[in-house]
Amino acid sequence: MRIVRALRESGVASVAVYSEADRASLAVLMADEAAYLGPAPASESYLCIDKIVDAAQRHGAEAIHPGYGFLSENSEFAEACEAAGIVFIGPPAAAIRQMGSKTAARKLAIAAGAPVVPGTESAIDNLTNAKETARRLGYPVLLKASAGGGGKGMRRVDREADLEAAIRDASSEALRAFQNGEVYLEKLVLEPRHIEIQILGDRDGHMIHLGERECSIQRRHQKVIEECPSPVMSEHPELRQRMGEAALRIARAANYYNAGTLEFLVDRDRNFYFLEMNTRLQVEHPVTELVTGLDLVQWQLRIAAGEGLTIRQEDVRWSGAAVECRIYAEDPDRQFLPSPGQITRLTEPAGPGVRLDSGVYEGWTVPLDYDPLLAKLAVGAPSRATAIARMKRALADYTIAGIRTNCAFFAEIMDDAEFRAGRLSTAFLDEFFARRKVHEPALETEAVAALAAALAQRKPTAAPSTAPTSQWLQTGRETLLR
């Protein structure tokens, strides 16, 4: 829907591809045309390069935007588009191939003078070498898929006895998700911040960075809340410049153009390490757009059409703050289990500073076949504190009935003292759940039953003779007068 809207603003017709599971999806209904790919399994639809290229040719499409997932970081897909005379709205295939391999990207980053997390520079080829490397790095270590992202093919390993099974599981998951089962090892940086830098470049070599996004709040290595700017930048403003320059060095070394994101870990001492590059538009790009005022998808289209960047680095300004929550059909109280089903009622938030990139509608059935992301709720405001208050209000305005969502969970985080203070790390959610468990009232079953019985037997009392004192009169008027 994000891309369909951008194309419509540009006066360009859109063709949405879909699988059987997405036949009634909002993008299919809203696009100018739609092309059926095949059954629900991605291996029979969204991962079929030939089917997508054939659909583009049959509908007379001049370009393909790969979106966020599936083939969006697949160099063979970019090459197939080029071979068919179709513009790929993204970076060149060679850059996707080099940066899509996390091991190759690490080598390039080292050559470009950027710091990287200690680990292997090639995929694991046998268990003996993996054990030796893990001992040298020291446990805990992290297994990661060489291709793809989103937390798939990633496993934390705390002891050698678990390494073999973790490699097998990570490799199997990576193969299913990215058609590439290679995994490599990194030293696990404990409780870092996850901060990424957005870059934008044209085919003539002009390149700028658009600052950072704080993406530390994650579940199962997948981001759920993002914000711009990062709270750490207010304390260390020079960090943005150093990380931005490192990101540009790496991207230039890869001969990159179009939009891209370089991800870094920042430790407690404000040292940063290159992690990987996403050679596509990020799910969380709205927070950058809200703070910089730039439309990244429009720039993707313009660069793909051969236009040059008209923005210099000194032209980029960051104004205010933005926060994004990824709204999922899932149950946070049950280890974030997916919650597919029909949306029986939908009321979407609006108002000043609220942006909703949604892909659902009332009456639609959320399938179990894919990632259960429903929408991205983003807010912009003059300050981080105001953005948090605005997000809390927007979440309260959001009603999605018929399925479970994480809206109430996000509302709790907006009230969390550690979040409000900007004390974030990739361990935030584990610590948040621990704090929440400690603060839950310890009511025994007998006490609950006794209270219920007492309330049931209580006689109604007469209405008070005077109206209760208004909280507005108590506090609001005095606040305004101050």
So which residues are the catalytic ones? 280
Sign of CA dihedral 51, 54, 60, 62: positive
Give CA–CA dist 386/449, Å, rounded: 42
Let me know: does 180 contact 101? Beta carbons within 8 Å: no
**Which value, to the nearest 10 degrees, does the dihedral of the CA atoms of residues 33, 39, 43, 48 take?**
-30
Structure tokens at 335: 């280890």
> Residue 15 forms beta bridges with which residues?
33
Sign of CA dihedral 92, 94, 95, 101: positive
Give CA–CA dist 60/21, Å, rounded: 25
Rounded to the nearest 5 percent, the helix, strand and coil shares of the chain are: 40, 25, 35
Own/partner pairs, 425-432, CB within 8 angstroms, 24+ separation:
425/191, 425/192, 425/193, 425/216, 426/191, 426/192, 426/193, 426/194, 426/216, 426/218, 427/190, 427/191, 428/216, 428/217, 428/218, 429/217, 429/218, 429/219, 429/224
Alpha helices in 201-284 (DSSP H): 231-235, 237-253
